[in-house]
Structure 1
Amino acid sequence: MEQVHHRTYADIDEVREDLFKYIELFYNRKRLHRSLGYMSPVAYRLQKLSA
């Protein structure tokens, strides 16, 4: 809902592209998650790999 609230899309392909960009470029890379100790998923994975 964060991404699509108050947005209008021309077709389902536009929705898919927008959601993909949101998830892959923002949510998984920058958004902090409480369950991960307020780290982004990418930062969390990198920390686990280097440990």
Structure 2
Amino acid sequence: MPRLCSFSGHEVEHKPQSNCWDNAPMESFYSRLKIELIYSMDFCSISELKLSIFEYIEIFYNRQRRNSGLGYVSPGTYEQTLLAASLGGLLFAGNNSTNDE
């Protein structure tokens, strides 16, 4: 139920208590971003910072960085392994023909 904030006169609505772990993945990501990029470089402009963050996320974090949830391999390597395994299964299934002569 909304209530009036005494010092500003604005209405404030509090969300019900949620799971304390619901924000953990984003906090982990921001921690890695700061450690691996922000604190290790000097940026001359906001546009340089934005470009660096974009490259970090799209090129390094999503494609190359080893991920503990994937067995400490990069997402690209993990995807290639899954694709090779599924194609191998399809190729193997296609070679089950018998030659009865």
Q: TM-score range by the shorter chain?
A: 0.5 to 0.7
Alignment partner of 2:67 out of 33, 38, 47? 33
- Whether 2:81 is the aligned partner of 1:47: answer yes
1:27-46 Cα distance to aligned partner (Å, 9 max, x none): 23332111001110111112
Q: Percent identity?
A: 37
TM-score (norm 1): 0.67
Q: Which runs of 5+ in 1 are unaligned?
A: none
TM-score (norm 2): 0.41
Provide closer, same or farther for how the CA distance between residues 21 and 35 of structure 1 changes in structure 2, counting only shifts above 3 A. same
Q: Which runs of 5+ in 2 are unaligned?
A: 1-33, 87-101
Q: Who wins on radius of gyration, i.e. which is larger?
A: 2
Report how many aligned residue pairs link the two structures.
51
Distance 1:16 1:42 in 2: 24
Output the aligned Cα RMSD: 1.9
Distance 2:42 2:77 in 1: 32
- Whether 2:21 is the aligned partner of 1:21: answer no
Distance 1:37 1:6 in 2: 27
Provide closer, same or farther for how the CA distance between residues 37 and 6 of structure 1 changes in structure 2, counting only shifts above 3 A. closer
